[in-house]
Amino acid sequence: MIEVKDLKKQFGQKVAVDNLSFSVKKGEVLGFLGPNGAGKSTTMRMVTGFLPVTAGEIEICGISMIGSPTEAKRKIGYLPESAPLYNDMTVRGFLRFCASMQGLKGAARATAVDEAIETCFLESVASQSIDTLSKGYRHRTCLAQSLLHNPEVLVLDEPTDGLDPNQKSEVRKLIKRLGEDRAILFSTHILEEVSAACTRAVIVDQGNIVADGTPDELEKQGGGSLSELFRKVTSQESPAA
C-alpha cells in the first residue's frame, strides 16, 4: 500500500534523505526508528505529499504521489508531529470541521465523527473545548481527525511523543488494532514501541536505512537487545531533519 523507491531529499548541499526504499503492506505496522535528525520527519512529509521530493518514487495504494498527488492523498490519514488544534472548538466540533474538509456531509459526516470518537475513546470529552483537554486527550483528538475518511493508509509522526506511560500504552494498543486492516507507517525514537505496536521496523540514520526486520529479527541482530543494535548502527548525532 506504501511503496517508496530510491527516495531522496536535498536541501541545498545537505542530503536529508538518501535513496531510501521500503514498502508497507495492508495489515502491517512499520515502525520508522532513528535518532533525532535521522530524516524520519522529512521522509514522512514526502510520503504524504507535504514536501516535494528531490528524486525517487512514492506510490500510495498504487497511485503516484508525484504524478497524482490529490488522488494519492485521499488514501492517507496523516498525523503530523505537533498537529495543530483549534483550542476554542469542542472535540466534536473540531472533528466535524475536519470531516467537512474531507468532503463528508450530512449523515456520512455525523457517522464518521461518531466512529472516530468511539475508536479513539473520546466519548467522555466530546463536548469539552480542546483547551481544557489533557495532552493525552489532545493527542487522541489529533489521531481521530486522521481516521475520519476511513483511510487505507495511516502515516503517524511521533504519535506518542510527550505522553505519560499510561497514555503511551493506550495509543500503542490503538495503533496495533488499527493496523489490522490498514497499512501504517509511524515514526518514533522510543525503542520499546517496536515490540509493543510494530509488525516490522526499520532503523534510519543520516537519511539511510541501516536495519530492517521484524522485532524478533532486530533483537537477534543486536544480540538480544534492540538498544544494542540501535547504538551499533546509528551515529550519536544526525544532521538531517
The structural domains of the chain, with segments of one domain joined by +, span: 1-75+152-241, 84-150
Q: Where do we find the cell 522485532?
A: 215
Superfamily of domain 1-75+152-241: P-loop containing nucleotide triphosphate hydrolases (3.40.50.300)
For residue 77, pLDDT over 70 is answered with yes
Report the alpha-carbon distance of residue 106 to residue 109 in Å, rounded: 5
pLDDT number for residue 151:
96
Q: Which three cell numbers stand for residue 93?
A: 466540533
DSSP state of 124: G
Report the alpha-carbon distance of residue 103 to residue 187 in Å, rounded: 28
Under the banding of pLDDT at 50, 70 and 90, the label for residue 199 is very high
Integer CA distances (angstroms), 234 to 115, 210, 227, in order: 40, 8, 11
pLDDT number for residue 190:
84
pTM of the model: 0.89
